[in-house]
Structure 1
Amino acid sequence: MARLETSAEHPVPVRVVAIRLGEWIARLGEIWVDGQIAQLNRRPGVATQFLVLRDPDANISLSVTCPRGVLPDSVSEGTRVVLRARPDFYLERGSLSLRALEVRQVGLGELLARLDALRRLLAAEGVFAPDRKRPLPFLPHTIGLITGRASAAERDVVENARRRLPGARFRIENVAMQGTSAVTEVVEALRRLDRDPEVDVVVIARGGGSVEDLLPFSNETLVRAVSDARTPVVSAIGHETDTPLLDLVSDVAASTPTDAAKRVVPDLAAETAEIDALRQRARSRVRARLDREAELMAGLPERLRLTVRLRLERETSDVAASRDRARRRLAALLEAGRADLAHVQARVRALSPQATLDRGYAVARRADGAVVRSPDEATGRLNVRVAGGEFDADPVRP
């Protein structure tokens, strides 16, 4: 198809643009489309029926025309369908629609198979990994609540939370919790609450319903939005037996909205009772410790006297033993000293000139004190010392 050559000086008419658009769209031919019926207009006796087909994961829809007999009587608004259609571009209105040639309702088994495939895909990506779970705050400043307007789920969460913690604050986002717009509204509400710095935890709550009613809470767009949220999210969808994918990605999966209320706020009465019990146990332990210390103090003087007496007796015994050891040591030292002295005296006596004199020898000295060692040295008067004393003598030469 040739490209249109246009300019400000040579524009093309609207009809040409419309015709060319129609030609391009017609080249798509027949296509199979998956979607959810958002609006359905059945009018008896009219050859053509009209519906709006909405994308389950995005806020995008297309108008569809169905000739009589193509649309099954079992489908209704909210039904998931697969249809074979041909795109049509209406030149007069400049609008695009699909002309359905065949419409098939997606059965429950097929829906469950798709959900299981999606679950495996997200699990493989780590979206449900336990290490991604965030702990809930012990005492949230504000609780974000996404639920249906005036719903039993809203009442259960708010009343039970305030029964446990009077004055609990909520920021409530009332949105559609089923139908074609549920996913879009829940995701937008979650993002608003996630941006609010005062919201510490977000609860998504809905009562029970059929598998089809709970399909929005297994939607991939919603699951990824919860995974990307910075604020901890609590899932409280349906009953205990209901397990939408939202339960797997949320930080805490509550079995019911009432259970969610118990998870997000502490029980003030129970916490107060626990504090009282702890205080009582602390008082009992302190009192018991004081009683033990009082008993110890009461017996302390007697124990001190006994300890001092025992210490004195032990020290007295030690002093007596030390004294005896000192005496024995001193006596031994004195005896050894006397023996050494006697030995030295004997050696002195043996080496003394007196001992030589006692054996009959004499020492002769001249007047100048020199000892006479030979007859030639005996000159003048001599002083002779013998064992019994001294006397003077004159040397006599032969």
Structure 2
Amino acid sequence: MALDTSPEKPAPVRAVAQAIGGWIDRLGAIWVEGQVTQISRRQGMSTAFLTLRDSLADVSVTVTANRALLDSLVTPVVEGASIVVHGKPTYYAARGSLSLQAREVRMVGLGELLARIARTRRLLAAEGLFAAERKRPLPFLPGAVGLVTSQGSAAEKDVVEVSRRRWPAVRIVASYSAMQGVHCTREVIEALQRLEADADVDVIVVARGGGSVEDLLPFSDEGLVRAVSALRTPVVSAIGHESDDPLLDLVADWRAATPTDAAKRVVPDVAEEAQRTMQLRERGRRALLGRISAERQLVTSLRSRPVLADPRGGLGERSREVEALRERGGRAVRHRVDRAADDLDHRIARVRALSPLSTLRRGYAVVTGPDGTALTDPAGLGPGTSVDIRVASGRITADVTSTSTEESPDA
């Protein structure tokens, strides 16, 4: 229950300690996993004291265990070992400290550790953290190379020496951390975050030499894998040897077999690049000279053709062809005009033959009455009627003196 306190009615220390002890006592026995960072076995005492530390966070708890319980284990408990403790949290009011009274201690064996790593691998793979499409390309020539390793290690020496031998101007930004032990995972994550915050770092190399499976366990920690996956800067994993397979290798953008291999992959070789540049320049020069030579041959071939050797040589022949065509065209036009003129004369002759004037010229005449109509019958014309006679060359006005009717030859 909560303590009822006030400035006028404060609770004594013993009451607070008793309340805390009561709250903690309500937890009951629990299973706890961690790494042993310290063991204290005092001479003549039946109780041993261990410090159990979290593998990722900077948190630890004291464990009290019966000495006989620890001695009964097949594998002795040593500093750095991973154990699982079944115990009851206890608060010691006299010292104001919390400890875990161990009832059972189990060593986390290699087989169990590997099984846990396999389960973690399947979990992270299902989330897509190892997918190929998440891999980021490494820069061709990084402005600065971030290096996460332990200070003064052989891995640091290999990466720095190989990188500077390949490209002397390369800048190495080292962020040191423990590369094994209980602090390894946390310190590596902090080192990665420091390099991620540096805008000049274009790629990060996590390098460590070879080691046992237990030494490489921190690099399969789920927290470290997720931290690397969240980075924006490309990461190269150079942990252990080629046969080692920590989960960091799967989430990294590039896996190197060794720290030396990582340096070769991240930093280009200035001699090789200079040689490649010279080869490309030579290939370009040869290609350009070949193209110029081909164009020269083409120009020479064009100049050797008759039409270009003597441009006016073909004009005479073409002018004669044009003149012949003009002559043919003139003859065709004249022939067409002559035929059209003959046809016109024929048509005019036919029209003239059909003209009434032609009939009049043969001695015929057209007689019209007073009303101007042509007369075909003398009936109705009395003596003295004035008529108009149309002949080929003019008109005659006459008065009728008499008329007679003749029977038509066709009757």
- TM-score of the aligned structures, taking structure 2 as reference length: 0.82
Q: Deviations over 1:311-353 (max 9, x none)?
A: 7635642542343133123223223313422542564477596
CA gap 1:172/1:373 in 2 versus in 1, 3 angstroms:
same
Structure 2 residue 155 is the aligned partner of structure 1 residue 156: no
Name the aligned partner's letter for residue 20 of structure 2. Answer: L
Is the CA contact (8 Å cut-off) linking 1:57 and 1:220 kept in structure 2?
A: no
Name the aligned partner's letter for residue 298 of structure 1. Answer: T
Listed as ranges, the gaps of 5+ residues in structure 1 are 379-398
Give the whole-Å Cα distance in 2 for the aligned partners of 1:78 and 1:48: 20
Listed as ranges, the gaps of 5+ residues in structure 2 are 366-387, 402-411
Name the aligned partner's letter for residue 27 of structure 1. Answer: R
Name the aligned partner's letter for residue 228 of structure 1. Answer: A
Aligned mate of 2:218, from 216, 235, 238: 216
Q: How does 1:1-398 map to 2 (within 5 A)?
A: 2-42=1-41, 45-71=44-70, 74-303=76-305, 304-305=308-309, 309-310=313-314, 313-314=317-318, 316-345=320-349, 347-348=351-352, 351=355, 357=361, 371=394, 373=396, 375-376=398-399
Q: Deviations over 1:105-125 (max 9, x none)?
A: 111111111111111112222
Give the whole-Å Cα distance in 2 for the aligned partners of 1:174 and 1:37: 23
Give the whole-Å Cα distance in 2 for the aligned partners of 1:108 and 1:68: 24
Q: Deviations over 1:44-78 (max 9, x none)?
A: 55433222101123221111122212226522111
Is the CA contact (8 Å cut-off) linking 1:67 and 1:100 kept in structure 2?
A: yes
SS in 1 for 2:399: helix
Give the whole-Å Cα distance in 2 for the aligned partners of 1:189 and 1:107: 29
How many angstroms does 1:306 deviate by? 6.3
Is the CA contact (8 Å cut-off) linking 2:166 and 2:271 kept in structure 1?
A: yes
Give the whole-Å Cα distance in 1 for the aligned partners of 2:28 and 2:347: 143
CA gap 1:74/1:323 in 2 versus in 1, 3 angstroms:
farther
Give the whole-Å Cα distance in 2 for the aligned partners of 1:320 and 1:126: 86
Name the aligned partner's letter for residue 77 of structure 1. Answer: E
Name the aligned partner's letter for residue 65 of structure 2. Answer: C
Give the whole-Å Cα distance in 2 for the aligned partners of 1:354 and 1:214: 135
What is the percentage of aligned positions where both structures have the same residue?
50
- Greater CA deviation, 335-344 or 187-196? 335-344
Is the CA contact (8 Å cut-off) linking 1:135 and 1:232 kept in structure 2?
A: yes
- TM-score of the aligned structures, taking structure 1 as reference length: 0.85
TM superposition outliers: structure 1 runs of 4+ over 6 Å: 358-361
Give the whole-Å Cα distance in 2 for the aligned partners of 1:350 and 1:88: 149
Is the CA contact (8 Å cut-off) linking 2:61 and 2:100 kept in structure 1?
A: yes
Q: Deviations over 1:80-114 (max 9, x none)?
A: 11112222222222111112232211111111111
CA gap 1:320/1:29 in 2 versus in 1, 3 angstroms:
same
Q: Deviations over 1:145-177 (max 9, x none)?
A: 000121111111111111221121011012110
How many angstroms does 1:28 deviate by? 2.6
Q: C-alpha root-mean-square deviation of aligned residues, in Å?
A: 2.9
Give the whole-Å Cα distance in 2 for the aligned partners of 1:237 and 1:311: 84
- Greater CA deviation, 49-58 or 141-150? 49-58
